[in-house]
Amino acid sequence: MTDTAPLTISPHPNLVLVTGPSGAGRSTAINALEDLGYEVIDNLPLSLLSVLLDGPAPTRPLALGLDVRNRDFSTNALVAAIDALNERRDIASQVLYLDAAEEELVRRYSETRRRHPLASDAPPLAGIARERELLVRIRARADVLIDSGGMSPHDLRAEVEKWFAPSAGRVLGVTIHSFSYKRGLPRGLDIVMDCRFLRNPHWEEALRALDGRDAAVDAYVAADPRFDPFFEKIKGLADLLLPAHKEEGKSHLSIGFGCTGGQHRSVTVAERLAEALAKDGWQVSKRHREMERRDAQASGSRG
């Protein structure tokens, strides 16, 4: 879920304060902002914030990472800093707050075996609960709140890009997803197409273990008489919508293709559309969720 505080968001922020509980994705968000051209300073002592902002005007927008690990962190000090920034007319600032449910944060700490900064000698849950309590007033001041629960790092980066990609010279990024309906829709899709009506390579023994990136699977799916008219309409729809979304200032569009297992038909269609849009000059990335999951499991079993 992504929430916004109404009427507080500047369309052209030149300062973004990035905060939230440890493990919610702050580092991923900071890296995404840096890739968007922001000058990033992580864990800046709050006592130096005024020195930084009263110094020479930055040539790029700033993104400052702030959390409980800051040397002089306190809730009161950060709240006071946010309120002071809101009073300034020379700075357009926003607070980006990354959050996740308590059970999600516990799971992430368990998987990484990291110690929580507020519970170095205790289970992570104790530190998570304490930190969330400290951040209640700061969360209430968020201009953009992103719940990263269930998001992959790729998903979170895309969400940050939607909100903070500079509007000047903005290039519309397109992400083409394939997925299995058995595992539900990926987060953040703008357009979803169902490919389950196409003939299924799963029932061909020679193709079952392959996926839609394989030439044999691609040829099998494309040989369905319904494939060409389906793909032609999809491509025509993309040709209509992408320029319109770009004109409206949208920075990112996600198109998803689903099938039963997310291995054959949806992957083939996603690959073909991504290739066609890239040839037209669009900035395109591909995400094959079930393939990524399978690869991750295989890597884990080898480790």
* Check whether domain 2-164 has CATH 3.30.565.10, yes or no: no
Residue of 166, 155, 163, 168 lying closest to 9 (CA atoms)? 163
For residues 247 and 170, the answer to whether their CB atoms sit within 8 Å is no
Give the model's pLDDT for residue 8: 34
Give the model's pLDDT for residue 111: 65
Domain range annotation of the chain: 2-164, 173-302
CA distance 239 to 222: 21
- Give phi and psi for 72, each to the nearest 5: -115, 35
Give the model's pLDDT for residue 219: 98
Give the model's pLDDT for residue 201: 97
Rounded average pLDDT per 10-residue block, the chain, 303 residues: 36 76 88 89 84 79 82 80 83 88 79 65 73 86 86 86 68 88 87 97 96 97 98 97 85 91 97 96 88 71 48
Give the model's pLDDT for residue 168: 52
